[in-house]
Structure 1
């Protein structure tokens, strides 16, 4: 087999909306909107720099709801740049950009192959330098937005061909609950089809599900919400004489999303907490000086600062100030190193001796012991929540929403329930109330115990209802 190299990308979502950032200065808004196009430009640059023989794109180039003229023209421009370098492109459309979706009727540049719907199409990719045949590429596009059939079972190797075989599939492997179960299949389905590399799209978190054959999600090329954290980009795939693959991830994003934890344990007052947040902002700026960062701070732990956060608006006030400072930088067009605080997730509690409470022969002690046992394993967590949520599961719409919640969110629910139980049942809240009356000069302030997990920011990251633009 002739060694070769290709680039695998997916989920470009050009010109799509960003979630949870409605109240933005115009300068920051414009920069964010341009970020998906900037990532596309970097993709072209990486393909040229790496001297790849061809590029595969596994669906969701656009979002149907946001299929702007600009997005389509910029993609055409990128395809022409790749064609000008002799780099072939093979692509499919997914659930966000199905073949029946609105788009311009533009002729594809030479060297670009778009696979249609129905049965998987096949094409032979060649080496850039001399046209030697390298690989058989198969792909299938979505005819409409909702494809619930296991389309992986339609794929088959080209009879009699000893070339490397690549399959382009936009689908949900092994039922990832964070994404719609379109074109659902299993790893076993893919392994059994005889292909050497499955170039997947649809799941925005990059992962290598299997090595031989390679089953790969590259993730999306640019994060667009706090649920899409970390580096985003594409894979460079080298195939050697034996047909073995070696993958290297290349970052393409210009805006990096993060969730950063700041414990309040040991912080004496509002000044110390403010300093801790400001240090964290500067650490992010130093860590990623060439990128814009969007961060949500998770405030965790126990301490006296909890009351400032939950009842006195300290987090909201600091958020406003942090955003004002970064807006000044953006107004000066200093986007590299910009750190935009998206919000604070307040997950703090009052100072209590949790270990003592766990040992207590009380309702709260039993609650904490049950929570501890259930949270040790995924099965234990599922059993506890299944029993607790059983009445809600009788409603079809609620059942659909609840089954889509991932394990991390379920653990957050359990932790929040623990904190609420401690706040309401330990007596710490009443002790804190009594002490605080002296701080308000004897006034009997009406105080409601805050929920232990509160998001202070532009919008809650809950999917439906989150603001987009």
Structure 2
């Protein structure tokens, strides 16, 4: 087997709108909207500098089937650069950019191969001498809803070749519950195929599901919201004479998302909390110096400071001041090493003796035990949460809003309501006892 090198990327989601974010300045919003294109440019430059033999992209080049003209033109520009550098690109389309999406009728550069709606196999060559080094099998989604196990349709006869065999597949392997179940398959299905490397797309977190054969999700090249934390990029893959794979991850993102916690356990005044928050932000800025950090901060723990935070005014003031200072810094120094607070989430509580109250033979104790039983179960239609939300679900706008709320977020509502109710009842007991 001849040694060669290629790039595995997926889920570019070009021109993602970064919708639903509030409080952004025009500069921040513009930078976010450009970030997927910057990551694409970095991918192209990486392919050139690493002198790869080819690039594979495993679906979801675009963010929506209603593809923007800007995204198409920028992608074509990137493909033309790679073509001029004599770097072939092999592409499948996924659920966000299926083949039936309306797009420009353009002629692709000669070295670009887009797989059709049926599995097909092509041969890839080494750039320096044109010798065959790999066979690549892939299939694009004909429509956005591909619910069958298309991996079973991939040709196993191609593995009879002595060449390294790569499978391009946009799929949910082993039923990941956090993602839509498109082209569902199992690791067993992929292992039994005889392929050497499965270049997957669809899951946006970086994962190596299996080695020998390699079954790999590179993740997306640019995180787009708070649920896509951590570094984003692609893999450069080296295959040696023995067919051994060496993988190196390369960061491509220019905006990175962080979901962090700050505890109020040892805070006696909001000013102490503010200082802890600033210390956290400085640490994040030092850890990611090449781009913009977008940070959500969860306020955790229990203490007297929680009562000051409950109405939201103090956190709003801290947020406004942090954003003002950072925006001023951006104007002078650009976005590298910058930190923007996406928002706060108040998950803290007051210093109530919850364990003691749970054991009480009282109305408060009974209420808390019912709430705890609910929290330990699954949020569903017949749960307390489900029954409370049912009247609201009759209104279309509210139903649409609530459809994006996770079960964990619903349970957090219940936990907060449980604590607030206990506090109010305890306060009422104390005031009643004083008047008596």
Fold conserved (TM > 0.5)? yes
Q: Which has the higher contact order (CA 8 A, sep 6+)?
A: 1
- Deviation digits for residues 273-311 of structure 1, max 9, x if unmatched? 222222222222222222101111101111111122212
Partner of residue 28, structure 2 = 28
Give the CA RMSD over aligned residues.
3.1
1:128 Cα deviation after fit: 1.3
Structure-1 separation of matches of 2:300 and 2:380: 23
Task: Describe the shift of the 1:401–1:318 C-alpha distance in structure 2 as closer, same or farther (beyond 3 A).
Answer: closer
1:329 Cα deviation after fit: 2.4
In the alignment, does 2:124 pair up with 1:125? yes
1:3 Cα deviation after fit: 2.2
Partner of residue 422, structure 2 = 425
- Deviation digits for residues 414-463 of structure 1, max 9, x if unmatched? 455345324323668617996xxxxxxxxxxxxxxxxxxxxxxxxxxxxx
Partner of residue 8, structure 2 = 8
1:87 Cα deviation after fit: 1.7
TM-score by length of 1: 0.81
Please give the residue correspondences for 1:89-128 in structure 2 after superposition, counting only pairs within 5 Å.
Answer: 89-117=89-117, 119-128=118-127
Structure-2 separation of matches of 1:109 and 1:414: 52
- Deviation digits for residues 228-282 of structure 1, max 9, x if unmatched? 1110111122223332323221111000011110111111112112222222222
For the 8 Å contact 1:177–1:404, the answer to whether it is kept is no
In the alignment, does 2:77 pair up with 1:77? yes
Structure-2 separation of matches of 1:248 and 1:194: 23
Partner of residue 316, structure 2 = 316
Structure-1 separation of matches of 2:217 and 2:399: 28
Structure-2 separation of matches of 1:98 and 1:152: 17
Partner of residue 57, structure 1 = 57
Structure-1 separation of matches of 2:427 and 2:54: 67
- Deviation digits for residues 202-239 of structure 1, max 9, x if unmatched? 11111111112211111110011111111011112222
For the 8 Å contact 1:169–1:198, the answer to whether it is kept is yes
When structure 1 is superposed on structure 2, of 362-371 and 155-164 the one drifting more is 362-371
For these two proteins, the number of residue pairs brought into alignment is: 424
Structure-2 separation of matches of 1:22 and 1:403: 19
Task: Describe the shift of the 1:400–1:8 C-alpha distance in structure 2 as closer, same or farther (beyond 3 A).
Answer: farther
When structure 1 is superposed on structure 2, of 415-424 and 60-69 the one drifting more is 415-424
Task: Describe the shift of the 1:286–1:218 C-alpha distance in structure 2 as closer, same or farther (beyond 3 A).
Answer: same
Structure-2 separation of matches of 1:23 and 1:371: 34
Say which SS state the counterpart of residue 226 (structure 1) adopts. coil
1:112 Cα deviation after fit: 1.2
For the 8 Å contact 2:83–2:110, the answer to whether it is kept is yes
Partner of residue 199, structure 2 = 199
Q: Which segments of 5 or more consecutive residues in structure 2 lack a partner in the other structure?
A: 432-436
For the 8 Å contact 2:173–2:187, the answer to whether it is kept is yes
Partner of residue 260, structure 1 = 260
Structure-2 separation of matches of 1:206 and 1:89: 21
Say which SS state the counterpart of residue 134 (structure 2) adopts. strand
TM-score by length of 2: 0.87
For the 8 Å contact 2:364–2:425, the answer to whether it is kept is no
Please give the residue correspondences for 1:454-465 in structure 2 after superposition, counting only pairs within 5 Å.
Answer: none
Structure-1 separation of matches of 2:70 and 2:238: 33
Q: Which segments of 5 or more consecutive residues in structure 1 lack a partner in the other structure?
A: 435-469
Structure-2 separation of matches of 1:57 and 1:426: 54
For the 8 Å contact 1:157–1:165, the answer to whether it is kept is no
- Deviation digits for residues 122-159 of structure 1, max 9, x if unmatched? 11111111111111101111112221222111102344
Say which SS state the counterpart of residue 5 (structure 1) adopts. strand
For the 8 Å contact 1:20–1:225, the answer to whether it is kept is no
For the 8 Å contact 1:364–1:422, the answer to whether it is kept is no
Structure-2 separation of matches of 1:145 and 1:237: 29
